[in-house]
A and B are shown apart, each in its own frame.
Chain A
Amino acid sequence: MSDVTGGRALLALDQITMRFGGVVAIDGLDLEVRQGEIFALIGPNGAGKTTVFNLVTGVYQPTAGRVAFDGRKINGMKRFSVTKRGIARTFQNIRLFHNMSALENVLVGADAHHRTGFIGAGLGLPWHRREEREGRALARELLDFVGIGHRTEEWAKNLPYGDQRRLEIARALATKPKLLLLDEPAAGMNPAEKRSLQQLIRRICDAGTTVLLIEHDMGLVMEISDRVAVLDFGQKIAEGRPAEVQNNPAVIEAYLGAPADAS
């Protein structure tokens, strides 16, 4: 793995707390994702990983604390503005636009930076046509990039499961993110699919997009990540290089439970 520990902080969570009524989902979390790295967020089910994603993308507003992206505070911003600033995500339970073609799904992502309003579109003005052309070219390119370039016209819901995951990644990449959040991208994939997904994530990172990843497949996490943070009950219990985290007693306890003699 490349050493990027000296990289600039791209995303910084500062003392983030998230309460849902009486439940504290995230408790005073500090987290820093650096430019150019692949950062994995792991932890047992219910640890608060997806809540972190929802806090970063503006779905939830933190009860306390600050989320900074690229040096600027983003909590309190609208979700679509967060996307425009350069954060894109996929979903744990795939949320494609099922009855639109693969190409149209990606186009919706590409539209995030388009300016055409109803006047330009309704009158068919030249800049609208240019945007449309460029959007389509970008969408085709991205579908090729994720490996489903031969299925552009198929409806999202008719794609095989693995391809749907890839399409979600293509749609997210179409918003031209600086930071890509992947929520359990390997869930439900077979070993061969996981290997090619791993290569895809590597290629995304090499192309200049920082990746923040939630994943349960430890093999994938350990092989691909530059750094790993472990969440348990909304708190960070460990952070570091994969090998360090793997041997951390607190992590082993969180996953397997405390040894009997410790209680």
Chain B
Amino acid sequence: MSHSKNTTGIGPVRAAMRKITTPFDEMRDWWGRAPGWVRWTVYGLVIVAALLAPSDSVGAFMSPESDWATILFYPIGVFVLLAIGLNVVVGQAGLLDLGFVAFFAIGGYVMAVIGTELGWNFWEIIVVAVLISSLSGIILGAPTLRLRGDYLAIVTLGFGEIVRLVAQNTDAIGGPRGINSIPHPPDMSDIEIIPDLQPFTYGVIDPRPYYYLLVALCVLVIIFARRLEKSRVGRAWAAIREDEDAAEIMGVPTFRFKLLAFAIGAAIGGATGTVFAAKMISIVPNNFPFILSATILAAVVLGGSGNLPGVILGAFLVGWLPERFRGFEDYRVLLFGGVLVLMMIVRPQGLLPSRQRSAEFAEGSGMGGMGAEVATPTAKAEVSSR
């Protein structure tokens, strides 16, 4: 297949890339057949690795130039959780959302406003933030989810900007200066697990407790998302992605399920925003630029839209690589863009795509494979000809 395309000059790159990615595919297939105890062992190891990650010896390699634990919280941890949320919308339901940062911002501002004005504590606020952000997802989705493909992308893009601009121009929430002295979560316990590490004490200096909070949220959200994926809900999303009209005729209330995907994605985005605001002490509207929506989308697509391990890997790389190569200064964003372009050429389905998604990708063309319902040259026929 690649031989015919060698004339474009990327043939060798493609071949090299295949060498790198074939093990990924083999790993995925092995994983698909692996028995339960193997899976649970791997899950356990991954969680242990995540808990041990913020140590100096790991950090010496991962980010020699800045504080590793800080980077693990933001961007890496925040990106991972946001990407898991966006994956529900883009990867599962196949809706292209270009304004996902809006929900992150809404969660952050809910934390900031309620925390500073009403003095509620973090655990109460996160519940409210999840409700408000999912409600805002429904409010955005109700009129717009009737649109398909590129129209939906444009409207969500606009929504992301509107939220940021409203925050910037509303003096009651600080305008461009944002909100300061957001309270930290209350300490759950001052237990010291190893010297110098109190994982449940949320202070100003140590980012690790916040990182652990993100890890815990990630685990919860992953379990929830996996269960949805394997249930009626996930099947309905997959059916909508494959053929929305046929799905509706088979009894799937497609609009309701798309709205549900939007609300769940928004809730996860909002929860992330709450943790982010509580850690950062102060937030400003410019914490939530469009480029963040684009970056999270890049993470989802790069990793393998629709496949949780892939999405997590993608978010990790997108969060980590620019930090690791800070030495390149101004060129790192350029390099990052170059890597993304290269990926889209040689491995458009992402590093670790799900089998179903790669098949859809091979079938469709362009954006269709990415999950968006953009019209393709081989546009699907009407429900059927007269």
A residues apposed to B, CB below 8 Å? 20, 25, 46, 48, 50-51, 53-54, 57, 59, 78-80, 83-84, 88-89, 91-93, 95-100, 104, 107-109, 111-114, 116-118, 121-124, 128, 131-132, 135, 155, 157, 171-172, 175, 183
Contact = CB atoms under 8 A, between A and B. Distances in A.
Interface in B217-246: 224, 227-228, 231-236, 238-239, 242-243, 245-246
B242 A98 contact: yes
A118 B264 contact: yes
Interface stretch (B23-31, B250-258, B330-338): B250-258
B3 interface: no
Given A54-B384, A100-B356, A112 B251 contact: yes
A171 B227 contact: no
A57 B242 CA distance: 20
B364 to A, nearest CB: 10
Closest CB pairs A-B (n = 7): A112-B251, A121-B231, A83-B251, A97-B242, A95-B246, A99-B359, A122-B224
Contacts of B236: 108, 111
B57 interface: no
Contacts of B381: 93
A57 to B, nearest CB: 6
25 contacts: A20-B386, A50-B386, A51-B386, A53-B384, A54-B384, A59-B245, A80-B249, A80-B253, A80-B254, A93-B384, A95-B243, A95-B246, A97-B246, A99-B242, A99-B359, A100-B356, A111-B235, A112-B251, A121-B231, A121-B234, A122-B224, A122-B228, A123-B227, A172-B250, A183-B384
Interface of B: 224, 227-228, 231-236, 238-239, 242-243, 245-254, 260, 264, 356, 359-360, 363, 381, 383-386
A108 B384 contact: no
Contacts of B246: 91, 95-97
B251 A111 contact: yes
Given A53-B384, A80-B252, A132-B231, 16 more contacts: A50-B386, A57-B249, A79-B249, A97-B246, A99-B360, A108-B235, A108-B247, A118-B264, A121-B227, A121-B228, A121-B232, A123-B224, A128-B231, A128-B232, A132-B232, A175-B251
Listed residue (B224, B248, B250, B386) with the most chain A CB atoms within 10 angstroms of its CB: B250
A124 B233 contact: no
Contacts of B383: 54, 59, 91
A175 B250 CA distance: 7
B251 A109 contact: yes
Given A118-B264, A121-B232, A100 B238 contact: yes
Contacts of B253: 78, 80
A98 B362 CA distance: 12
Nearest to A132: B231
A107 B235 contact: yes
Contacts of A50: 384-386
Contacts of B359: 98-99, 155, 157
A104 B250 CA distance: 13
Contacts of A100: 235, 238-239, 242, 356
B238 A97 contact: yes
Nearest to A50: B384
Contact of A124 (B227, B245, B251, B264): B227
A57 B264 CA distance: 31
